[in-house]
Amino acid sequence: MTDGPATAPGSATDEALRAAVVDLLDRADTAAEGPGTGILPIVQAGAPVLRAVAAPYTGQLGDVLPGLVDAMRRTMHAAPGVGLAAPQVGIGLAIAVVEDAGTQADDPRERTPLPFRVLVDPRYEPVPGADGEPERAAFHEGCLSVRGWQAVVARHRRVRLTARDETGAPVDEVLSGWPARIVQHETDHLAGELYLDHARLRTLTSNENLVRYGAVVDLG
């Protein structure tokens, strides 16, 4: 998939990136003792790749892209998580996968189902509410690259997502509630940002204490 390569086809940079992805997939398969079953290691906060702006995808991976997408999906499910960006597995490309089964209808987070999809070079912008101003919703969220912790982040309740999928087809849709939060979280990863950059740090809690004490949004 390509929009027209930013670098010459077959360039040393592209070949090195493709080789790195092939090696990553091979090592994951070997660790899992069988092809097609490998889970990729998720890098944690402090790794430089999480703080670098991901490169636009211009077809650098060629026929390796489907393998990376499949491995990212397996890794996201195994974590478990609802989104995973390529930098989180050490690949600095603007690619992410998202999927969430959702929860019960009365969930205040508006956690409606988000079907699996691949987002290539995603962007988002807030969608105004009835009063013409963007609405924001504040809830705890966590990150597979900041394992074991959550904090309250106020995010846009509704966003317009634009991207391409893995085939190059355009994506242009409006999402609200938890699906909108997932898209914002994963797109921020591609800009070198972590959710903690936008969090109310006084609400930072371990996963265990969030269950034990509940979701405290305002600590003064």
Question: Known catalytic residue: 186?
Answer: yes
Please pick, among 99, 166, 186, 193, the residue that the annotation labels catalytic. Answer: 186
* Sheet with strand 136-142: strands edge to edge: 136-142, 149-156, 199-206
122 prior amide bond cis, ω within 30: no
Q: Which residue has the tokens 């660790």?
A: 31
DSSP string computed for the chain: --SS-SS-TT-HHHHHHHHHHHHHHHHHHHHTTSTT---PPPP-TT-GGGGSPPBPPSSTTGGGHHHHHHHHHHHHHHTT-SEEEGGGGT--BSEEEEEE----TT-TT----EEEEEEEEEEEEE-B-TTSSB-EEEEEEE-TTSTTEEEEEEEESEEEEEEE-TTS-EEEEEEEHHHHHHHHHHHHHHTT--GGGGEEEEEEEEHHHHHHH-------
Residues tagged active-site: 186
